[in-house]
């Protein structure tokens, strides 16, 4: 029986630990110290490291973890991942050592040039999507184009609606404030704000989300909808010519949103 536990790191990162028996694998260990402390406190042994993209707050802890545990490091083939042993790209599959969970790989460029996601299909679907899809938001476009990011988000949005979404940061409440600005009449967004705020008041993570919840409340997944296109056009005061244009407009709007 596998469990998935968030290990908080830095200000708002989550390192995800996959635990089965005495073994644990971690996704995106930006810092080694909280992982080593968690392994120690939970009497667990590290069996693998998985990385979604090359940013330091996702891979910075790998060398120190590998100094303690000689474990495989899975990561995107086309990014510089410290001590990567298993380069991965779209269509690859991984059986996570020690956990025996089979994960498939998507290429989801946009936040970085060769960002990947790890996912499973029903009956117990989940996705580790790093900084590409957030709860009610998406990552900034540091290395990719709006076309790439829209295509990557569309791929994730097409996963089964019950897919649990494990992303890299606790940004949900700030993202929902923006979602409510884009779709002020949405009762789904209003209800989600109440629900997620209650979790944060109890110091609980808002994650995992689900693909179904994201389709209903995440403006970046809703950029092809006529109402959202109309709101983007009204904000920009110019005609919007389709989903990619609307997506790019939302992303810029969010960048400037206080
Ligand atoms: Zn990142």
CA–CA gap between residue 241 and residue 21 (Å, rounded): 52
Cis, peptide link before residue 183, omega less than 30° from 0: no
Question: In the prediction, which pLDDT does 168 show?
Answer: 95
Mean pLDDT confidence for 222-227: 97
| 150-170 pLDDT tens trace | 999 999 999 999 999 999 999
* Å from CA of 239 to ligand 1 middle: 31
**Rounded distance from Cα 216 to ligand 1 centre (Å):** 24
Nearest of 31, 215, 3, 220 to residue 126 by alpha carbon: 3
Q: Is 50 helix (H, G, I), strand (E, B) or coil?
A: strand
Is pTM beyond 0.75? Reply is yes
pLDDT at 258: 73
pLDDT at residue 1, as a whole number: 85
pLDDT of 172-214, one tens digit each?
999 999 999 999 999 999 999 999 999 999 999 999 999 999 9
Q: How far is CA 79 from CA 4, 35, 63, 112, 241, in A?
A: 26, 23, 16, 9, 33
Q: Is the pLDDT of residue 138 over 80?
A: yes
Give the number of other CB atoms < 10 A from CB of residue 240. Answer: 22
How close is the Cα of 152 to the center of ligand 1, in Å? 15
pLDDT of the residue at 222:
98
- The span from the CA of 72 to the CA of 117, in Å, is 17
Residues annotated catalytic, as ranges: 53, 55, 57-58, 111, 131, 169
Residue 54 C-alpha to ligand 1 middle, in angstroms? Answer: 7
> Are 46 and 19 spatial neighbours (Cβ–Cβ below 8 Å)?
no
Q: How far is the CA of 26 from the centre of ligand 1 (A)?
A: 16
Q: Exposed, middle or buried, 10 (CB in 10 Å: 0-12/13-18/19+)?
A: middle
pLDDT, tens digit (0-9, with 9 covering 90-100), for 48-81: 999 999 999 999 999 999 999 999 999 999 999 9
**Beta strands at 45-50 and 23-27: parallel, antiparallel or unpaired:** parallel
Distance between Cα 58 and ligand 1 center (Å): 7
Q: For residue 97, count CB atoms less than 10 angstroms from its CB and return exposed for 0-12, middle for 13-18, buried for 19 or more.
A: middle
């Amino acid at each position: 029986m596998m469990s998935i536990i968030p290990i908080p790191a830095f200000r708002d990162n989550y390192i995800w630990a996959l635990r089965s028996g005495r073994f644990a694998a971690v996704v995106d260990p930006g810092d080694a110290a909280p992982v080593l402390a968690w392994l120690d406190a939970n009497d667990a042994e590290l069996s693998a490291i998985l990385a979604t993209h090359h940013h330091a707050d996702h891979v910075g802890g790998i060398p120190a973890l590998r100094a303690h545990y000689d474990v495989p490091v899975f990561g995107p083939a086309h990014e510089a991942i410290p001590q990567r042993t298993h380069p991965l790209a779209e269509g690859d599959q991984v059986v996570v050592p020690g956990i025996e969970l089979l994960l498939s790989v998507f290429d989801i460029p946009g936040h970085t040039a060769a960002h990947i996601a790890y996912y499973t299909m029903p009956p117990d679907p989940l996705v580790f999507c790093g900084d590409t899809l957030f709860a009610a938001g998406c990552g900034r476009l540091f290395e990719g184009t709006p076309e790439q990011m829209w295509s990557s988000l569309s791929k994730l949005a097409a996963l089964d609606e019950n897919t649990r979404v494990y992303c890299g940061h606790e940004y949900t409440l700030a993202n929902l404030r923006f979602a409510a600005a884009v779709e002020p009449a949405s009762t789904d967004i209003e209800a989600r704000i109440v629900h997620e705020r209650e979790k944060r008041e109890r110091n609980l993570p808002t994650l995992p989300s689900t693909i179904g919840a994201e389709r209903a409340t995440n403006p970046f997944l809703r950029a092809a909808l006529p109402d959202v296109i109309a709101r983007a056009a009204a904000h920009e005061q110019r005609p919007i010519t389709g989903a990619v244009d609307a997506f790019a407009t939302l992303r810029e709007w969010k960048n400037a949103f206080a």
